């Protein structure tokens, strides 16, 4: 196996391990007095600005299904060959308590659940339209943290506050694109995604977000990052014309570090002009628009109009922000995906990782891509890593 793994289930209510899982069997896990249980297979997915997932197969009855407690924390430590041990994934158990599958002569239990970003999906923004809790403006990263603080952090009511469960919020950086947002009784994750989309009106200060596991993985911190979630590994030959601060990484079929590649370019759902429909009725309704003049000019018929309801907005800026977010949501999609093949220059967890920018060469095109999602699967003593890359163009 090109990498070694340590897998733990941590208790949902306090920072202690319920079980140490691995591909062997031992009465003791590194002197912790916790019995190891063999894992049949494990698959997990990290995703930028969204909720990833995980699934794990365990032989029955060797694994005690009572340990699969609701919201127990799955923690995956990974050590790539020649690299350092690092915390690669943390998520929650959301089976009740386990699923059962028969494979040949073996009965398996399956545990599964979401990644740590699921905490953001657990909350609605509890604020009436027009109040300070619903309507915010400022740097996108600070606005995100304010919503999280008031609905998950110490600013929330006691029964909504996760601080006692190891949840913290990164200090304000005030580095993101200036935005305005109205989000009365909107899902917190959805609101953060809207803000992230709106922040791309200035790519250099676009804001990314996520709940990052800390310590041994039980604690987590809501963080924002500007420009990209991970490291910048773009090559000078790419459309940006810059060399990434962390050194260039180039993937391509001729470099033998990529396989099963596909490039999908979709304009079926494109919109180039958006009407933001704010509060009011008839001719008194607040209407703000957003348009991409470059895409409008791509063909004589490429003015494609849609509208978005922003009835809860309280200012022109908030209506315009809703229109801009909808415009970005309906931009042309160029999705490049493939299986990363490890070479001495392209090792997952050493040379590139989740959320990084890198440069891909495929079908005569040079693309600066973001690693949007990384899927890791370990089974039968083998590891496979699939990365989904997306171009922002």
pTM of this structure: 0.86
Distance CA 213, CA 116 (A): 8
Per-residue pLDDT of the chain (393 residues; tens, 9 = 90+): 578 899 999 999 999 999 888 754 444 444 445 556 778 899 999 999 999 999 999 888 888 888 999 999 999 999 998 899 999 999 999 987 678 888 788 888 899 999 999 999 999 999 998 899 999 999 999 999 999 999 999 999 999 999 999 999 999 999 999 999 989 999 999 999 999 998 988 989 999 999 999 999 999 999 999 999 999 999 998 888 888 899 999 999 999 988 888 888 899 999 999 999 999 999 999 999 999 999 999 999 999 999 999 988 889 999 998 999 899 889 998 888 877 788 888 999 999 999 999 999 999 999 888 899 999 999 887 888 888 888 765
Q: What is the CA radius of gyration of the chain?
A: 23
Distance CA 312, CA 130 (A): 7
**Tokens in use for 50?**
């969204």
Distance CA 38, CA 40 (A): 7
Distance CA 325, CA 162 (A): 29
Residue 26 pLDDT? 41
Q: Which residue has the tokens 């030959």?
A: 237
Distance CA 185, CA 342 (A): 45
């Amino acid at each position: 196996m090109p990498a070694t793994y340590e897998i733990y289930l941590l208790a949902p209510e306090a920072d202690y391990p319920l079980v140490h899982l691995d591909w062997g069997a031992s009465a003791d896990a590194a002197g912790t007095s916790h019995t190891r249980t063999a894992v049949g297979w494990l698959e997990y997915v990290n995703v930028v600005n969204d909720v990833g997932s995980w699934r794990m197969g365990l032989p029955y009855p060797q694994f005690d299904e009572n340990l699969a407690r609701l919201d127990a924390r799955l923690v995956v430590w990974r050590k790539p060959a020649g690299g350092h041990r690092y915390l690669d994934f943390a998520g929650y158990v959301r089976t009740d308590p386990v699923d059962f599958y028969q494979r040949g002569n073996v009965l398996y239990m399956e545990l599964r659940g979401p990644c740590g970003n699921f905490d953001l999906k657990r909350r609605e923004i509890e604020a009436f339209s027009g109040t300070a809790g619903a309507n915010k403006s400022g740097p996108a990263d600070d606005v995100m943290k304010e919503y999280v603080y008031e609905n998950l952090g110490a600013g929330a009511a006691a029964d909504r506050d996760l601080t006692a469960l190891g949840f913290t919020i990164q200090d304000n950086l005030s580095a993101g694109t200036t935005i305005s947002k109205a989000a009365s009784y909107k899902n917190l994750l959805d609101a953060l995604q809207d803000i992230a989309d709106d922040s791309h009106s200035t790519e250099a200060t676009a804001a990314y977000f996520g709940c990052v596991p800390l310590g041994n993985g039980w604690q987590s911190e809501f963080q924002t990052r500007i420009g990209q979630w991970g490291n910048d590994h773009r090559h000078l030959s790419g459309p940006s014309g810059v060399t990434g601060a962390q050194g260039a990484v180039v993937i391509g079929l001729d470099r033998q570090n990529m396989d099963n590649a596909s490039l999908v370019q979709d304009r079926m759902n494109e919109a180039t002009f958006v009407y933001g429909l704010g509060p009011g009725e008839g001719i008194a309704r607040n209407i703000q628009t957003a348009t991409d003049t470059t895409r409008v000019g791509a063909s004589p018929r490429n003015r494609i109009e849609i509208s978005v309801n922003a009835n809860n907005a309280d200012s022109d800026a908030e209506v315009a922000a809703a229109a801009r977010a909808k415009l970005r949501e309906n931009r042309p999609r160029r999705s490049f995906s493939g299986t990363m093949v490890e070479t001495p220059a392209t090792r997952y967890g050493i040379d590139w990782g989740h959320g990084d920018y890198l440069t891909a060469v495929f079908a005569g095109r040079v693309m600066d891509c973001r690693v949007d999602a990384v899927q890791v699967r370990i089974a039968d003593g083998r590891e496979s890593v699939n990365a989904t890359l997306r171009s922002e163009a």
